[in-house]
Amino acid sequence: MEFGSFARTFGLFFATAIAEIVGCYLPLLWLTGRGSFWLLLPAALSLAVFVWLLTLHPAASGRVYATYGAVYIATALAWLWGVDGVTPTWTDVLGVALALCGAGVIAMGQRVAA
């Protein structure tokens, strides 16, 4: 996979993860009393964007979604730090590293096996 293709795919995974997290975070704010009922409208829009972004992924296969899962984990921990203000622990960082390494093995394994 050339770098430009890799960067586009990673960017798509990241945008998909952000849309999914926002679509779930906003209702949480409402349910916990930290936000207005009106947050459900942008949450619904965000989840609709999430579903649309899923259709843009290179293939609807388990391998693609397994790789997306690792990017989602990394994005969720970045959200924990940037939005929730909770500093990730060393085990969080190790878990993200392992997930991303695993995703790399999955993604590159396709090329090696071919």
52-98 confidence digits (pLDDT tens): 998 887 665 677 888 889 999 999 999 999 999 999 999 999 999 99
Q: What is the model's pTM?
A: 0.85
Burial of 7 (0-12, 13-18, 19+ CB in 10 A): exposed
* Residue 33 scores a pLDDT above 80: yes
Task: State residue 112's pLDDT score.
Answer: 60
* Residue 110 scores a pLDDT above 70: no
Q: In sequence order, which residues have a C-beta less than 8 Å from that of residue 43 and are 6 or more positions away? A: 22, 23, 24, 25, 26, 27
* Residue 3 scores a pLDDT above 80: no
Cβ proximity of 19 and 57 under 8 Å: no
Task: Please give the mean pLDDT across all residues of the chain.
Answer: 89
Task: State residue 108's pLDDT score.
Answer: 77
Comparing C-alpha atoms, which of 63, 98, 77, 97 is closest to residue 21?
A: 77
Task: State residue 103's pLDDT score.
Answer: 87
* Residue 10 scores a pLDDT above 90: no
Cβ proximity of 76 and 108 under 8 Å: no
Task: State residue 6's pLDDT score.
Answer: 74
